[in-house]
Amino acid sequence: MRMNQGVEWAIHACALLAPLWPNKGLSLAALADYHGLPAPYMAKQMQLLSKAGLVRTSRGRSGGYALSRAPAEINLWQIARAIDGPEPAFRCSEIRQRGPCATPRDKCKQACPIAAAFAGAEAAWRSALEEVTLADVLGRVGEQSDPAQLLRSMAWLGEQVVEIGGG
């Protein structure tokens, strides 16, 4: 199985918006340029983030995107779900109800033990991602980064930043 590649792009975009919260943001062009991605690729992710209520947008010449909540209140599971959809990776097709020894539908009130095991594994996956917020990501990036590199990024961001109303 493979997660949509847009999850990576969306989380990086949100991490870049995190230090600009609450009133500032970046244009779509700046978000795409910073990550070396074509603007239509980035646009699709930003639309999905907006639909999920994780970013807000302002239109017009100086329009762009800003986070709609504090970085500590947005976690990686929320972003992954916004981009990759809410469906579980393992989807039980109830094959126990098929074939010559099929279990009748009315005897299948409990989840199949196989489906239950995968549901448990996906809950563990979700919990692990819920524990990591954009604030955590930002903190770890800061710890890992070369100070000169951080300054270059901050200078670039300073030139690109736009005011986003309604925060």
Return residues touching a second copy (CB under 8 A).
1-5, 7-9, 11-12, 15, 33-37, 76, 84, 87, 89-93, 95-96, 98-103, 107, 110, 113-114, 116-118, 120-129, 132, 136-137, 140-141, 144-146, 149, 152-153, 156
CB of 122 to a second copy, least distance (A): 7
Q: Min. distance of Cβ 94 from a second copy in angstroms?
A: 9
**CB of 73 vs a second copy, minimal distance in Å:** 16
Nearer to a second copy, 90 or 166 (CB): 90
Rounded Cα distance between 72 and 58, Å, is 22
Give how far Cα 88 sits from Cα of 3, 116, 119, 120, 152, Å. 12, 12, 8, 11, 40
Q: For residues 70 and 123, which CB has a smaller minimum distance to a second copy in the complex?
A: 123
For the chain, give me the number of helices (H) and strands (E)?
A: 7, 4
CB 31, CB 70: distance < 8 Å: no
Helix, strand, or coil (residue 153) = helix
Distance CA 42, CA 2 (A): 19
CB of 102 to a second copy, least distance (A): 7
* Of residues 130 and 163, the one with the C-beta less far from a second copy: 130
- Nearest to a second copy of 61, 148 (CB atom): 148
Backbone phi, psi, residue 14, to 5°: -65, -40
